[in-house]
Amino acid sequence: MAQVPQTFFDALAVRSWCGLALEALGRAREEIDAINVYPVADGDTGTNLYLTVESATAAVEAVFAGHEAGGDRRPALADAVRAMAHGALIGARGNSGTILAQLLRGMAQVLAADGAPAHADGEGLRTALRHAADSARQAVAHPVEGTVLTVAAAAAEAAGRADGDCGEVARAAYEGARAALAETPARLAVLRRAGVVDAGGRGLVAVLAALVETFTGEAPRGMPAVGGPWRGSIRVAGPVPHARVEETGGPGACAEGGAAPGPGAGGPAFEVIYLLEAGDAAVARLRDRLDALGDSLVVVGGDGLWNVHVHVDDAGAAVEAGVEAGRPYRIRITHFGVGDAHTTGAEPAAPGERAQRAVVAVVPGEGLAGLYAEAGATTVLARPGEPPASGELVQAVRRAHAREVVLLPNDADLRHTAAAAAEQVRAEGVRVALIPTRSAVQGIAALAVHEPERRFDEDVVSMTSAAGATRYAEVTVAEHQSWTMAGICQAGDVLGLVDGDVAVIGQDLTATAEAVLDRMLAAGGELVTLVLGDDAPESVAARLETHVREGYLAVDTVVCHGGRQGALLLIGVE
């Protein structure tokens, strides 16, 4: 699409770059997946890069939306690049996505540093690209040449030799990366034998091409098709079967290549990825422990939040190491050759054994994820302030491996994201029904009446009716002073929201929850569902159960534990 050139690197340039990079990776995703052969050809590098950039883009858009809602013209460069880096960090997938997240974080550390100018010129972009390449290499336990690390370093070196504005620096970085990518088969024998360039490096070249277009208004010319003629290399038609690759860098050395060694071929059988809240010292110890457990170790992040990626035979030990270091969440465990075995989702059907129907649901906490999984649903975990992107929902639907899928977003703000995911998987031949649930308690009500044996349309109508008949509320704590439908609240006040609007402002959690329940049950009800967050005292549930039992005859109460779900308490009334 036509772009207005950006002379300097400011917040608008960040926004444009993210959007253009996402478009470029969307076009190239499948073919980048197809040339993914190092160290195992599991065909997901393009997808991982796309999902990582999608998360970064969503974070930047959220910053712009917040400023527009507040009447500001645009966010500062520092706010935009921090959002980009944070979004990439929490959404990073696989080796390739994790390293790209660190590249973006490295740029943000320069562009958002104290004393940095309001907008960066060519010199600032050169410095940012150099720091990005260096920090990404430091994040990899055993770097291997011929991978995206080599391409990033070449881009930084070429940018460092360029004079002029951001457009000239970006073009130099792109050309340097493109030349280095063409040489990757000479550096890694597995690429030479397959006749392809490094998949992660190819993705980075696409991202840098988007950077050129951001500053010049035109995409670079001479960009060959993915997997096209790169100095004699040939394009493979699809993913190569799993195979262990023994290459330079020492035994077990395995930098970014998009995958991990396959089972039964001398390499680790599992890929383990999780976000981790921990301090620097604990993460340093974690690196040493994980390095001894497996290979392809990449740990990126900082300021208390990290993305950990490793390939191991003992997935449990890798997760336990994270528990000892801090608080791991969004844990993903993939068994190579079998498919994604997400720890919070139902077990996928064996390849070729497509189920008739499945339910895919977004849930706000680990406890609810377990509850949904027990009921047979495939879940996508949404941490507070970290909504899933459409690509994550698409992956979850694919993981469910069914002909028919019922999608429960469980959040009004995720309806459009879920709709986009539904459209994508419909194009793949999956029949998808989106039920616009606005809360996890509505999803629980829908799941309770789900019957896979009945006709799809009848099942969807029944689930939709159950969700629609469930009023929902949440009790949380105000973070700052604000105008609400119930009056002015102060930071620290307890808020009771009914159907999305503040209905009660109080000082005590239990009293506020009781007032919310009274409002909801005034219109009648048969079942109250209470979902307690980690920060809610256990005594709250008992007192609310007593309140319902003594005040409302023939109304039952069910208590669940949601984990870190954001709100102190979720309430559903059917």
| pLDDT at residue 254 tops 50 | no
**Which pLDDT score is estimated for 368?**
85
pLDDT at 494: 94
Residue 169: predicted pLDDT = 95
Residue 6 identity:
Q
Kindly give, in sequence order, each residue whose CB lies less than 8 Å from that of residue 524, ignoring residues fewer than 6 positions away.
none
Q: What is the mean pLDDT of residues 149-165?
A: 94
pLDDT tops 50 at residue 123 = yes
Query: Hey, what amino acid is at 193?
Result: R
pLDDT value for 40: 63
Q: List, in order, residues 6 or more apart from 70 with CB less than 8 Å away.
A: none
Lowest-confidence region among 88-102, 375-389, 479-493? 375-389
Convert the pLDDT of each residue in 359-394 to its tens digit.
999 998 778 888 898 888 999 988 777 788 877 888
Contact by Cβ (8 Å): 6, 12: yes
Q: In this structure, are residues 312 and 267 in contact, taking their beta carbons and an 8 Å threshold?
A: no
Cβ proximity of 135 and 102 under 8 Å: yes
**Is the predicted pLDDT of residue 288 greater than 90, yes or no?**
yes
- Confidence (pTM): 0.64
With a cut of 60, say whether residue 1 has pLDDT above it.
Answer: no
Q: Which residues contact 217 (CB under 8 A, 6 or more apart)?
A: 2, 3, 4, 5
Contact 404, 475 (CB under 8 A): no
pLDDT for res 149 = 94
Residue 344: the pLDDT is 42
Q: Write the burial class of residue 62 (CB in 10 Å: 0-12 exposed, 13-18 middle, 19+ buried).
A: middle
pLDDT score of 474 more than 70: yes
Report the pLDDT value the prediction gives residue 334, as an integer from 0 to 100.
Answer: 75
> Which two structure tokens, joined as six digits, stand for 492?
């620290």
Are residues 120 and 8 in contact, defined by beta-carbon separation less than 8 angstroms?
yes
Query: What is the predicted pLDDT for the residue at 264?
Result: 36
Residue 571 has pLDDT above 50, yes or no: yes
**pLDDT value at residue 271:** 84
- What is residue 72's predicted lDDT score, i.e. its pLDDT? 65
Residues 6+ positions from 115 with CB-CB distance below 8 Å: none
Torsion, Cα of 220, 226, 228, 231 (10° steps): 70
